[in-house]
């Protein structure tokens, strides 16, 4: 396969950046999108050029590091996959492919296609946890009975890998899908109920402070999410927040 790549190049946080065009050849359908990026980078290195910086780690769809906005969609045109799981057979010979970083004020570009997603970490630090007694009499989590339905819903919410595709896809750069998945996975379980009120207030406050936009319920996030996190979680967080807003002191 012969392709034309239009890639965002930006040497550092303060560089203005621009789209640069790279022709590439000998791409096979069974390569992953990141394999293709590796081929390109090898060519660039051979030529003595600066390789394109992009994030990746596990390359099996579980770490959430890869984060490319491909041809106008987060993680590319396929559904329910991360960029590392996207196969080149989804593209056709001669195609032009735009590759851009996540665009959000809260995710500043570090270099080329790498963005700083530590805003998510700060949202997590604000409440994405349960406090556990570790002084020697820690209670086994499985000692508390949990309904199968809630356990499943909590598990589904917990499959969020924090990649940020939801923010990247949202016209408002809203982080509601991510934050609601993290609020939900704990709110659904008895251990999480203890700190539920402060959790949702603090996580949403941090989300706002980090400069993410406001949700308009476009639903783009859930369509582009590689883990198919459902909008049910956003509705649940809206309910949790309503309760918390009216009952907190």
Partner 1 sequence: MSKSVILKSSIAKKYWMAFTGLFLCLFLVGHLLGNLQLFYAGEEGRRAFNEYAYFMQHNLLIKVMSYVTYLSILFHAIDGLLLAFQNKKARPIQYAMNKASANSSSASRQMALLGSIILIFIATHMVNFWGKMHFGEIPLHTYNVSMPGQMGQVQESSFYYTHDFSVQPVPVVKEIVVKNELELYIKNPEIKVGEGYKDLHSVVMGFFGKSANGNDVNELAWLAVLLYTISMAVLSFHLMHGFASAFQTLGLRHPRYTAIIKNIGMGFAIIVPATFAAIPLYIFFK
User: Interface residues with ligand HEM (CB under 6 A)?
Assistant: 214, 216-217
Task: List the x/- string, 133-172, binding to partner 1 by CB under 8 A.
Answer: ------------------------------------x-xx
How many other CB atoms are found less than 10 A from the CB of residue 217?
12
Shortest reach from residue 170's CB to ligand HEM, in Å: 12
Sequence-ordered strand ranges (E) for the chain: 3-9, 18-24, 69-70, 73-74, 96-100, 109-111, 114-115
Provide the pairing of β-strand 96-100 with 3-9: parallel
Task: List the x/- string, 38-77, binding to partner 1 by CB under 8 A.
Answer: -------------------------------x-xxx---x
The answer to the question of residue 208 lying near ligand FES (CB under 6 A) is: no
**Dihedral of alpha carbons 104, 105, 108, 112, sign:** positive
Q: At how many degrees (to 10) do helices 232-247 and 176-187 cross?
A: 70
Please list every residue from 22 through 61 that binds ligand FES, using CB under 6 A: 56-59, 61
Contact, 69 vs 103, CB < 8 A?
yes
Given partner 1, ligand FES, ligand SF4, none, residue 217, with its beta carbon under 5 to 8 Å by kind, binds partner 1
Shortest reach from residue 152's CB to partner 1, in Å: 13
- CB closer to ligand FES, 127 vs 164: 164
**Dihedral of alpha carbons 23, 28, 30, 36, sign:** negative
- Tell me, rounded to whole angstroms, the distance of Cα 137 from its chain centroid: 36
Sheet holding 18-24, edge to edge: 18-24, 3-9, 96-100, 69-70, 73-74
The answer to the question of residue 202 lying near partner 1 (CB under 8 A) is: no
**Count residues contacting partner 1 (CB under 8 A)?**
51
Given ligand FES, ligand SF4, partner 1, none, residue 186, with its beta carbon under 5 to 8 Å by kind, binds none
In the block, tokens 């621009």 appear at: 18
- Residues in the site for partner 1, rule: CB under 8 A? 6, 8, 19, 69, 71-73, 77, 98, 100, 103-106, 169, 171-174, 201, 204-205, 207-208, 211-220, 223-224, 231-232, 234-239, 241-242, 245-249
């Amino acid at each position: 396969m012969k392709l034309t790549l239009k890639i965002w190049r930006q040497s550092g946080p303060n560089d203005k950046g621009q789209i640069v065009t790279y022709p590439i050849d000998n791409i096979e359908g069974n390569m992953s999108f990141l394999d293709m990026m590796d081929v390109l980078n090898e060519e660039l290195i051979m030529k003595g050029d600066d390789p394109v910086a992009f994030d990746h780690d596990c390359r099996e769809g579980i770490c959430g590091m890869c984060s490319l906005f491909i041809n106008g969609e987060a993680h590319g045109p396929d559904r329910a996959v991360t960029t590392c799981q996207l196969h080149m057979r989804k593209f056709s010979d001669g195609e032009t492919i735009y590759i851009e970083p996540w665009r959000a004020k809260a995710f500043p570009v570090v270099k080329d296609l790498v963005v700083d997603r530590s805003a998510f970490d700060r949202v997590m630090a604000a409440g994405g946890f349960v406090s556990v007694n570790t002084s020697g009499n820690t209670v086994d989590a499985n000692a508390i009975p949990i309904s199968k339905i809630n356990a499943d819903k909590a598990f589904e919410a917990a499959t969020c890998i924090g990649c940020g595709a939801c923010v990247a896809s949202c016209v408002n750069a809203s982080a509601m899908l991510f934050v609601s998945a993290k609020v939900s996975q704990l709110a659904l379980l008895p251990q999480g109920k203890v700190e539920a009120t402060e959790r949702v207030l603090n996580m949403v406050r941090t989300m706002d402070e980090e400069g993410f936009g406001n949700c308009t319920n476009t639903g783009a996030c859930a369509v582009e999410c590689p883990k198919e996190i459902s909008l049910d979680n956003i509705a649940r967080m809206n309910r949790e927040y309503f309760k918390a807003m009216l009952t907190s002191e």
